[in-house]
Structure 1
Amino acid sequence: MNLCQALSLLESVSQSDSTVVVTGESGTGKELMARAIHLNSNRKLKPFVTINCSAFVESLIESELFGHEAGSFTGAIKSKPGRFEIAEDGTLFLDEIGDLSLAVQTKLLRVIESREFERVGSNKQLTLKARIIAATNKDLLSEIAAGRFREDLYYRINVVNIHMPPLRDRMDDLPKLTTHFIEKFNALFKKKIKQFSSNAFEILKEYNWPGNIRELENVVEHSFVLCPGEIIQVEHLPTRIRESKSDGQTISQKPEMKSFDDAEKEILIKILRNNSGSRIKTAKELGINTSTLWRKMKKYDLV
């Protein structure tokens, strides 16, 4: 799905209240798609509330979703509304829903089916009014087969599925995306940068983009900081981007293509080395969160 196809689907999906699941690798723009659906719907003046399901341990995720009453658990000094309440008549975006425990999945399924929930430590029934949009970078069907995701929850939330392809598979969108980020950072930095030079842009096209659109945004911002004129040159690109092009190779004389996994592993090793092994700095440079970086490092036996 390219940008034009996504925008066409966006218009149709925005006009309904059906539950949506947005899938794709980290950094492909899943939250941007969810926000766009919200802003094009009749709920656009209502809250858009997000929660990263992978950011909380099981004992805390319930409180974050459902809210809690004072004294309901150690540390619950005062009552607190959860995201279901805060979202009101707007949209609740459940990011990385595939990371929820089975126990929390069961409770979430009950809420979606009944449109009712209770705060932790309360028996008072509250009504879910928000639209649910979920996102994941996991293959939920594989998670179901492995016993890590409930099949009934999958079919309950997967009314509409929108897959966001990785940037490496939608390079036709690269000119539009770079133009968008140039406009964004011109406004932010009060500059008048027009474009990337042809050589710099060719390097962008040759890069694998393991961090996807989020990494592209970081690269454009990096280039803005270093560029004193109107055209971003090769020397303004981050070192890892410039070095990703094979030594002594021209773009018309490509070496045998590596698999994406091999290329991604090589990039991870290089950036980790440049950052003296710091996961926080490496994740920031790639435009991904530390939990995503940890999963990639485990995948490639780098931990």
Structure 2
Amino acid sequence: MAGQQRVYRQRIRSTQSLKKIFRAMELIAASRIGKARDRVTAAAPYARALTRAVSAVATHAGVDHPLTTERPDARRVAILLVTSDRGMAGAYSASVLREGERLIQQVTDEGKEVALYVTGRRAVSFYSFRHREVAGQWTGSSDAPSAETAQEIADTLLQAFLAAPEDGGVGELHVVYTQFVNMVTQTPRVIRMLPLEVVEGVAAPGEDPLPLYEFEPSPEVVLDALLPRYIQSRIHSCLLQAAASELAARQRAMHTATENAEDLIRMYTRLANQARQSEITQEISEIVSGADALAAS
């Protein structure tokens, strides 16, 4: 019985240590989620303005640009997966990897080759363990992505898209990330970023009409300047959305883990008390039996 008590007391101490870690991680995520949401909100006006400018130029210029032209000769497809650098965020990274694997299977079934680009150590370790080639990887800033990181990713992907097919160029670019809806809901999304599609030439209901520009020196030069900035802005927005989703998922997961640790502590405490009570009862029984034996003799 004494051995059981020691085991239960040791489990209680180890669970209490884990509870402190879970609680600390929950508080850290809670302190960072506000800034992450503010960054998402702050980046939205620039992204909207840039999107309207690109839409207006592409609609009214009437020129073909490499970033808006389909490339049927290129049989490679670039896929960018946005995951986290650390775990303990529930199914956050697993959901993105699951969507990415579904997209990879779909592209493979179409007879195309996949060029995989990943952000976050979770995706790097996932594909390294399976000995699958990764064309590019970025780690170290999943919960606080910088504009410089987004610029580096955008430059790498644009270079791959503009390269010739015989040089390893890709014909499409897809991004798999997690959209931050609110603190409870984060949804994995798959978007095709390149080639760009102009779906309509008028503004959406409730918005101002698309502006008419005079192009100086030419529409081609304007598109050459705008489209790379647009891609960088879209990628940065995806990274910010993913960062907010990661922190929200980690806060929720660590809150649940803290509650589970408290339940384990209560259970082990009850079992330790039962073992102690059984030990006391056994000692009393042995004393009474010994006294009866002495009285009988």
Q: Under a length normalisation based on structure 2, what TM-score does the superposition of the two structures give?
A: 0.24
Q: Under a length normalisation based on structure 1, what TM-score does the superposition of the two structures give?
A: 0.23
Larger Rg: 2
Query: Does 1 or 2 have the higher relative contact order (CA < 8 Å, sep 6+)?
Result: 2
